[in-house]
Amino acid sequence: MSRERPTFDEAFWQQPVYGFDQTSKAAWLLPRLYQLHSWHLQQCPAYQQLQRRFVAEQPGKPVPWQAWHDCIPLHVRLFKEYELRSVPAEQVIKVLTSSGTSSAKVSRILLDSETASAQAKALVRIMQHWLGKERLPMLIIDHPNVIRDRASFSARGAGIQGMQIFGRQLCYALNDDLSPNWPALDDWLARHQGGPILVFGFTFMVWQWLQALAQQGRQLDLSQGVLVHGGGWKKLQQLAVNNQQFKQQVRQLTGMARVHNFYGMVEQVGSVFVECEHGHLHSPAFAEVVIRRAGDLAPLPVGEEGVIQVLSALPLSYPGHSILTEDRGRILGQDDCPCGRPGRYFSVLGRVARAEQRGCSDTVAVTAGEQHAVAL
């Protein structure tokens, strides 16, 4: 078994973000994931305990994985119950948290500088594909204090900070109490309305902001803009709002036709899945999805609905390279999306029934000021 520390070298970053078909991607990413597995086995005693049965079954030399579903996942909830760490404590420079609600336990993701910088770099590579390299005037549908505490980031804060690299002349559209900051918006619009801009926010907060625009009878001209949003649909599903209606509302109130939803989580910051022009979430080079049957976790073929497992090439400082989520989804196809991007594409269908309520951006409206989010 390989014991060497995985690295993020030039060859790693030279991989095409959306250029791999499934076969060539497996040839590159599966050995990487296996290397991470070996690394965490060696470095993280808790991971070793959790994987012990697997190791015992294959004494000596475990066979490298042949398929995505060979990657054994840790359940996402373990990151709430245990401190899972694969580097010495003194190397941890940042702790990401998923939730601040009193009822839900918080995921704590421990980052060393190498993992944090790889996450930032991967996010840049992914988002540049959708946004281009030019920094755009950026409207953030959130309040400025969400990124103020730099040592202990909420996923939402981390997401916003990560995205700021694509923006300039930033404007936060909300006040600390999440009410719209109309003077700030008007000031920013006076300078940038009608031009190319970037709007970023968490899905439910964008939705609420749109409702506030409608209530005020405001009609913006952001027709040259692009909206990037993510963080869960649960609250919107409760309001019976789907992706299509969301986009319709965006277009009606702001003129924006380019809208990209993303799917990601605090346990795998950086390797996000972004929605293409056809509404499909695409796997980037650094990440992959597996769908498993809810009952026995058997891997499911294209088209069948089950629990989403996410794989990421990035986590070095914690064993988060293969995680079983509490989300339901379906693989829509492989290497044949009409947008032309090769690889696996999928949709997220909601939460697993009776899953523990995670504090995510969906709950922000109810508990203003607390830190939440499933994020970039």
Buried b (16+ CB within 10 A) or exposed e, 125-148: bbbeebbeeeebbbbbbbbbebbe
Least distance in Å: CB of 246 to Zn ion? Answer: 18
Buried b (16+ CB within 10 A) or exposed e, 192-219: bbeeebbbbbbbbbbbbbbebbeeeebe
Quickly count: other Cβ atoms within 10 Å of residue 67's Cβ. 10
Contacts of 102 (CB under 8 A, 6+ apart): none
Contact segment (CB under 5 A) with Zn ion among 108-116, 168-176, 275-283, 296-304 equals 275-283
Near Zn ion by CB under 5 A: residue from 220, 276, 302, 355: 276
337 contributes a contact to Zn ion by CB under 5 A: yes
Least distance in Å: CB of 279 to Zn ion? Answer: 8
Q: Of 93 and 276, which CB lies nearer to Zn ion in the complex structure?
A: 276
Looking up tokens 């040839």 gives: 27
Contact segment (CB under 5 A) with Zn ion among 67-75, 218-226, 271-279, 356-364 equals 271-279
**How many residues line the site for Zn ion (CB under 5 A)?**
5
Least distance in Å: CB of 333 to Zn ion? Answer: 9
Q: Which tokens belong to 32?
A: 């990487």
Contact segment (CB under 5 A) with Zn ion among 69-77, 82-90, 292-300, 335-343 equals 335-343
Which x/- pattern over 20-39 shows residues binding Zn ion (rule: CB under 5 A)? Answer: --------------------
369: left (phi over 0), alpha (psi -120 to 50) or beta: left
Quickly count: other Cβ atoms within 10 Å of residue 48's Cβ. 14
Contact segment (CB under 5 A) with Zn ion among 147-155, 197-205, 274-282, 306-314 equals 274-282
Looking up tokens 């590159």 gives: 28
Contact segment (CB under 5 A) with Zn ion among 133-141, 161-169, 253-261, 279-287 equals 279-287
Binding to Zn ion in span 93-152, by CB under 5 A:
none
Q: What residue spans of the chain are helical by DSSP H?
A: 10-13, 22-43, 45-50, 52-57, 78-81, 113-131, 155-163, 182-192, 203-215, 234-238, 243-254
Contact segment (CB under 5 A) with Zn ion among 61-69, 215-223, 280-288, 293-301 equals 280-288
Q: Of 339 and 366, which CB lies nearer to Zn ion in the complex structure?
A: 339
Q: State how far the Cα of 37 lies from the Cα of 71, in Å rounded to an integer.
A: 8
Binding to Zn ion in span 185-244, by CB under 5 A:
none
Q: Of 168 and 278, which CB lies nearer to Zn ion in the complex structure?
A: 278
Least distance in Å: CB of 67 to Zn ion? Answer: 23
Least distance in Å: CB of 250 to Zn ion? Answer: 19
Least distance in Å: CB of 342 to Zn ion? Answer: 10
Q: Of 191 and 278, which CB lies nearer to Zn ion in the complex structure?
A: 278
Q: DSSP letter string over 15-29?
A: S-TT---HHHHHHHH
Looking up tokens 């190791």 gives: 55
Least distance in Å: CB of 127 to Zn ion? Answer: 16
Q: Of 212 and 276, which CB lies nearer to Zn ion in the complex structure?
A: 276
Near Zn ion by CB under 5 A: residue from 27, 298, 339, 366: 339
Q: State how far the Cα of 365 lies from the Cα of 207, in Å rounded to an integer.
A: 11
Q: Of 64 and 333, which CB lies nearer to Zn ion in the complex structure?
A: 333
3-state secondary structure of 125: helix
Contact segment (CB under 5 A) with Zn ion among 78-86, 206-214, 273-281, 348-356 equals 273-281
Least distance in Å: CB of 339 to Zn ion? Answer: 3
Q: Which tokens belong to 88?
A: 């010495």
Least distance in Å: CB of 278 to Zn ion? Answer: 5
CA distances from 185 to 172, 205, 220 (A): 8, 15, 11
Looking up tokens 């939705």 gives: 207
Q: Would you tell me which residues interact with Zn ion (CB under 5 A)? A: 276, 278, 280, 337, 339
